[in-house]
């Protein structure tokens, strides 16, 4: 459970930094007022110097200060996320087996950085970017990020 939340929080940070569109919102904030979404965006934008646990705590504290509807949406989101993460975990081994040896090694390095509990988010992104920048394009294209 804790690891899945860490992965979720880090993916939210990445999503916030590289949003697919201006209108993108976390699923639990789809119907929230823009001021609430902006508040969450600010929380995430300022989380780069925090560890996963600190980010998790910040998000949980922020959620507790929101309306009942947002809290309920967040709980549903966490439940749904757990299901989809379980499905994804089952597919992960199949995916890893299809990677070239170089991509498999890079993926293992990236995963160990991504799930490292004491590195701050900015450091994780910097290290992962350095790893990716050392890889040939064909190997980069194999790695699901």
Q: Are the C-beta atoms of residues 44 and 13 closer than 8 Å to each other? A: yes
CA torsion sign for 72, 76, 79, 84 is negative
Residues 6+ apart with CB under 8 A from 70: 28, 29, 32, 36, 63
Separation of alpha carbons 60 and 48, rounded Å: 17
Separation of alpha carbons 72 and 59, rounded Å: 14
- Burial (Cβ within 10 Å: 0-12, 13-18, ≥19) of residue 12: middle
Separation of alpha carbons 95 and 142, rounded Å: 10
Q: Are the C-beta atoms of residues 145 and 110 closer than 8 Å to each other? A: yes
Separation of alpha carbons 39 and 110, rounded Å: 30
Per-residue pLDDT of the chain (145 residues), as tens digits, is 444 445 455 555 444 444 445 567 888 999 999 999 999 999 988 888 999 899 989 999 999 999 999 999 999 998 888 887 887 777 888 888 899 999 999 999 998 998 899 999 999 999 999 999 999 999 999 887 6
* Nearest-5° Cα angle at 43, 33 to 5: 100
């Amino acid at each position: 459970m804790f690891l899945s939340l860490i992965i979720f929080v880090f993916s939210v940070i990445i999503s916030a930094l590289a949003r697919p569109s201006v209108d993108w919102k976390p699923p639990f904030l789809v119907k929230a007022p823009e001021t609430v979404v902006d508040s969450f965006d600010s929380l995430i934008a300022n989380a780069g110097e925090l560890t996963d646990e600190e980010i998790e705590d910040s998000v949980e504290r922020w959620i507790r200060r929101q309306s009942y509807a947002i809290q309920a949406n967040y709980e549903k989101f966490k439940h749904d996320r757990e299901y989809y993460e379980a499905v994804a975990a089952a597919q992960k081994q199949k995916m890893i087996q299809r990677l070239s040896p170089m991509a498999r090694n890079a993926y293992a390095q990236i995963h160990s950085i991504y799930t490292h509990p004491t590195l701050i988010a900015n450091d994780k992104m910097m290290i992962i970017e350095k790893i990716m920048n050392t890889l040939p394009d064909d190997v980069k294209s194999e790695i699901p990020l």
